[in-house]
Amino acid sequence: MNAKFILLLLVVTTTILLPDTQGAEVIKCRTPKDCADPCRKQTGCPHAKCMNKTCRCHRCG
């Protein structure tokens, strides 16, 4: 019983902490402005960040 509770708690915590990003396609960038158009095409939303020379697209909403 105790092990099942810990496993359930671990699964719930992991799903909460996962980032809400989509990144199936690698988009190279230098500034966040480089990410807006490719992310708009990929996700329909221009919200993005340039992290480690790679775009991270975020969903709207």
CATH, residue 55: 3.30.30.10
Q: 37 lies in a domain?
A: yes
Q: 16 lies in a domain?
A: no
Q: 19 lies in a domain?
A: no
The whole-number pLDDT of residue 11 equals: 83
Q: 44 lies in a domain?
A: yes
The whole-number pLDDT of residue 18 equals: 62
Count: domains in the chain:
1
Segment 13-59, tens digit of pLDDT: 877 766 555 545 688 899 888 998 988 888 888 888 899 998 888 87
pTM comes to 0.50
Q: What would the two tokens of residue 60 be? A: 């709207």
Q: 4 lies in a domain?
A: no
Parent domain of 42:
24-60
Element (H, E) at 34: helix 33-43
- Spatial separation of the C-alpha atoms in residues 47 and 58, rounded to whole Å: 5
Q: 10 lies in a domain?
A: no
